[in-house]
Amino acid sequence: MSEGLGARVIFRIVGGPLDGVVITETTIWAVIVSIGLIIFAICATRKLERYPKGLQAVAELIVEYVYKFVHDTMGKRNMSFAPYIGTLFLFLLFGNALGLLGFRPFTADMNATFAMSALVFMLIQINSIRSRGFGHYLKHFADPYPFMVPIKVLEEFTFPISLAFRIFGNILAGVIIMELAMEGLKSLSLHTLHLPIPLLQTVLPLPLNLFFDIFEPILQAFVFTMLTMSFIAKAILSRPETDDDESPGHEPERGEGFNEDDLFVGGADYSDVRGYGEKQAESA
């Protein structure tokens, strides 16, 4: 049963160390979406082929787009964030779009949006400390003047709060508007026009569905992901320069995993990605 504007409580745990813990529809749908993404990833990569087709082609298209998007937004040296950014975007996209199937989006629950914002906040702080060093990390709060420290600290903590409220408010507003529209059309069909079925609910809500269940979920997932990338990149790019960075012929170390050049040269042919060619040779 729904408790006000909050998510419905599916069941409560009684007894034991978890006594009183409630499981809401937010938790259930977040787990379902996560499992769905895991199953898709397993099925798409279970039998890799040089010339992709089916689910593999869809997966490679998504991977190529995500890596290019991260490359253009965060820079070449931050490509290691691409898997997280891609997962975050898909998770938010399908979570926001649950209203299209008649279910409550789990991003309409403040608990879910604040949990994701807290994770982003931790990523920003950890990578800021790693890139600058702990001393420079503390020093940047007093830049350019020491009296800026309270303002800088407040700025750090208001970002995740605003990030959580932005997606929560927009998605919840869509849920409320759709509920009001559907109830109004139902009452108009049954009590005003005296139709045997709520016929007005079948066609008239389609423009609202198009906006609140398709356009708005895509937009909010994109905004949340874009802000996440921007602030992580800002925390890393603002590190102080060292003599090694300015030395002639100095090149940053290449990260492990994907070589992003393989994604942009010659299309989405991953045959040169490390480990792929060896596996193909062994299977042959």
SS (H, E, C) the chain: CCCCCCCCEEEECCCCCCCCCEEEHHHHHHHHHHHHHHHHHHHHHCCCCCCCCCHHHHHHHHHHHHHHHHHHHHCHHHHHHHHHHHHHHHHHHHHHHHHHHCCCCHHHCHHHHHHHHHHHHHHHHHHHHHHHCHHHHHHHHHCCCHHHHHHHHHHHHHHHHHHHHHHHHHHHHHHHHHHHHHHHHHHHHHHHCCCCCCCHHHHCCHHHHHHHHHHHHHHHHHHHHHHHHHHHHHHHHCCCCCHHHHCCCCCCCCCCCCCCHHHHCCCCCCCCCCCHHHHHHHHC
Q: Would you state the structure tokens that stand for residue 85, as one six-digit string?
A: 């950014």
Distance CA 230, CA 232 (A): 6
**208 pLDDT more than 90:** no
Which amino acid type is present at position 12? R
The reply to whether 273 falls in a domain is no
pLDDT given for residue 92 in this prediction: 96
The reply to whether 174 falls in a domain is yes
Torsion angles phi and psi, residue 163, rounded to 5: -65, -40
pTM of the model: 0.77
**For 249-273, how does the pLDDT look when each residue is reduced to its tens digit (9 = 90+)?**
444 444 444 444 444 444 444 444 4
The reply to whether 188 falls in a domain is yes
pLDDT given for residue 172 in this prediction: 92
Q: Which domain holds residue 120?
A: 63-240+257-268
pLDDT given for residue 8 in this prediction: 85
Summary mean pLDDT of the chain: 81
**244 pLDDT more than 70:** no
pLDDT given for residue 252 in this prediction: 44
The reply to whether 170 falls in a domain is yes
The reply to whether 149 falls in a domain is yes
Q: At what angle do helices 110-132 and 216-237 cross, to 10 degrees?
A: 20
Q: Round the CA-based radius of gyration of the chain to a whole number and report it.
A: 24
38: confidence class by pLDDT, cuts 50, 70, 90: very high
The reply to whether 77 falls in a domain is yes
Share of the chain above pLDDT 90, in %: 39
21: confidence class by pLDDT, cuts 50, 70, 90: confident
Which amino acid type is present at position 235? A
Greatest mean pLDDT among 28-32, 42-46, 188-192 lies in 28-32
- Over range 123-136, report the average pLDDT: 89
The reply to whether 106 falls in a domain is yes
pLDDT given for residue 235 in this prediction: 85
**222 pLDDT more than 90:** yes
pLDDT given for residue 245 in this prediction: 45
Q: Would you state the structure tokens that stand for residue 227, as one six-digit string?
A: 């802000």
- Over range 114-138, report the average pLDDT: 91
Distance CA 223, CA 117 (A): 13
The reply to whether 81 falls in a domain is yes
Torsion angles phi and psi, residue 12, rounded to 5: -115, 145
- Over range 59-82, report the average pLDDT: 92
Distance CA 117, CA 218 (A): 18
Provide the sign of the torsion angle of the four alpha carbons 193, 197, 199, 202, taken in this order: positive
- Over range 18-28, report the average pLDDT: 86
By CB atoms closer than 10 A (0-12, 13-18, 19+), residue 141 is middle
Count: domains in the chain: 1
